[in-house]
Structure 1
């Protein structure tokens, strides 16, 4: 029974990883596609490849998810908690994808783990959630906005005497690099979160000990998120690429570059599972504000922030409901 349940949890975890990929595909490529630096299919292929590579660059975020959020213990009960959390996260991902809202798959998963933990009377590590999730959730978008604004101001000063047409062409070429860097950061952050959940299930089932990530878990999570990325997330891509602000190549390059740096620092420096969605969205707002504040469609931004705020509790409630439902059968 334990082995069968572990297999189910792993399959559902990889399904979440796939939805994470197509939900967040827009994070890496929306700006490049909207500025015509890359065609959609080439951009998706590149993003999928660098997502795959990024998944192997570290394990700090995976260890935070696998051991720092909840203590599920060993046995069937722990696996039910993990399964309920995954269903909660997948449900929120699908809802926000359908509505075209770029919410955070990362925070959906963390909120779902906490919600399932509360419903099951499992120990939830609130100090870790505060330090590794809530504080970075506030700091990373603010950092993305401020750095995006400042970097764009510097770029505008550097190219102030340049002819627009050749300058746009150069920045379109540079966006290939910045989009790849963004996709690498997405793989580094988001694929690791699924690795952590799978390890959590393996520990609960008694098939693994410690916080180390088995090679097959890394590989399967990397492949799942890459496949999801290649399948695309066109609804959210329109929101990030066009509805917040109309981006030119220079602003697209600045937003992607800033976001990639923030993702790397959070993952490698602090092992903090931050949201790629929050980071790129705020960076886009920051670079857009250099035109004029009214150039940013703040109504769309408010809708996005509303989804961000709702993600943790909403995914938690869905996961709690799934926990009580699963307990009727398992």
Structure 2
């Protein structure tokens, strides 16, 4: 397989990852708006898709972090990048199937680190940069978003304690439309850049771009369209978990969670931190749950999510390492990895159709509902 053809394969795989990132992370922006009834499911994902598209054009700082900061581009080949992408896609699909909002970003980092390590050695991975730009933001961002959301929720309920609850919730549901839009914009700004960075890294390793080059315009456009399309198809399984599973969400809580998340993500994107929007939005929702008196936070669900977060980077790294070991052998190895990835993706899709979750089966949480978990009717 000559280099130009391999580069095309890697670019197509990167855009496939970008698509899975879109539908995997739709819930980050829209779960609380759907849960409170501020937006209908299909309207929510359409709005999110458009704003993801726009957000992708706002910055390239995160893309530069990935294309020139995580691994040594002089020591790897496009086949290694391809293997890392396969590791990320497989983990994205597995967690989507079980409805766990894990991090697409960390799946990508894990896959790339594992593939690079096995192909070029530990020296080819810039671990100091990984700690600075990935691990520290991963720990700090959900805590910051959660604290802001908790404080905002607490103050909101204290200041409106004598007001009519139905009127308050109705007003904040309108505000949620704006805050959900901000999260979608922020998601496009941060997450689409990761695919831009991967494609740019591929072009650099193939000698088609100089080292430290930024993403070309066509790369930005393709990444923006891919994540927007993925967002439009909607990740309803994860939307259920974030919108219903963690805590019961009312209008003021949804507004607080979304606004705090958008602020953290946009700030981090400006600084070039490739954080996880999943971690941030989940932290915001948990904080909003803790900020409302008598609201039940389902810590068992939160515990499962945190476990998925912890497992994401190493699990994707293992898959990326195995794929890299095979893909680095040459054309036959790349073909084998590609076919194996397609087979796994097909198997996961078939498994998902046994118990599908669609926009129609996503039940909006109505104002005044109890804190008890709702029963979801899943479409046959």
Matches within 5 A, 1:263-274: 263-268=265-270, 270-274=271-275
Which deviates more, 218-227 or 204-213? Answer: 204-213
Which deviates more, 159-168 or 198-207? Answer: 159-168
Q: Does 1:177 align with 2:178?
A: yes
Superposed CA RMSD in Å reads 1.2
Larger Rg: 2
| 2:218 match | 216
| 1:73 match | 74
With normalisation by structure 1, the TM-score equals: 0.97
Q: Does 1:141 align with 2:156?
A: no
| 2:280 match | 279
- CA distances 1:181-205 after superposition (whole Å, capped 9, x unpaired): 0000000100000000000000111
2:102, 2:312 within 8 Å by CA — same for their partners in 1?
Answer: yes
Runs (5+) with no aligned partner, structure 2: 332-380
Give 1:292 deviation, angstroms.
4.7
- CA distances 1:133-175 after superposition (whole Å, capped 9, x unpaired): 1111100011111111111112112212211111111111111
1:72, 1:79 within 8 Å by CA — same for their partners in 2?
Answer: no
Give 1:212 deviation, angstroms.
1.5
| 2:115 match | 116
2:247, 2:295 within 8 Å by CA — same for their partners in 1?
Answer: no
| 2:346 match | none
| 1:164 match | 165
1:251, 1:288 within 8 Å by CA — same for their partners in 2?
Answer: yes
Which deviates more, 287-296 or 12-21? Answer: 287-296
Runs (5+) with no aligned partner, structure 1: none
Secondary structure at 2:291's aligned position in 1? coil
Which deviates more, 52-61 or 162-171? Answer: 162-171
Secondary structure at 1:213's aligned position in 2? coil
1:106, 1:190 within 8 Å by CA — same for their partners in 2?
Answer: yes
Give 1:94 deviation, angstroms.
0.3
Q: Distance in 2 between matches of 1:104 and 1:255?
A: 18
Q: Distance in 1 between matches of 2:295 and 2:233?
A: 34
With normalisation by structure 2, the TM-score equals: 0.84
| 2:318 match | 317
| 2:22 match | 21
Higher relative contact order (CA 8 A, sep 6+): 1
Give 1:73 deviation, angstroms.
2.0
Q: Distance in 1 between matches of 2:57 and 2:98?
A: 32
| 2:81 match | 82
Secondary structure at 2:281's aligned position in 1? helix
| 1:153 match | 154
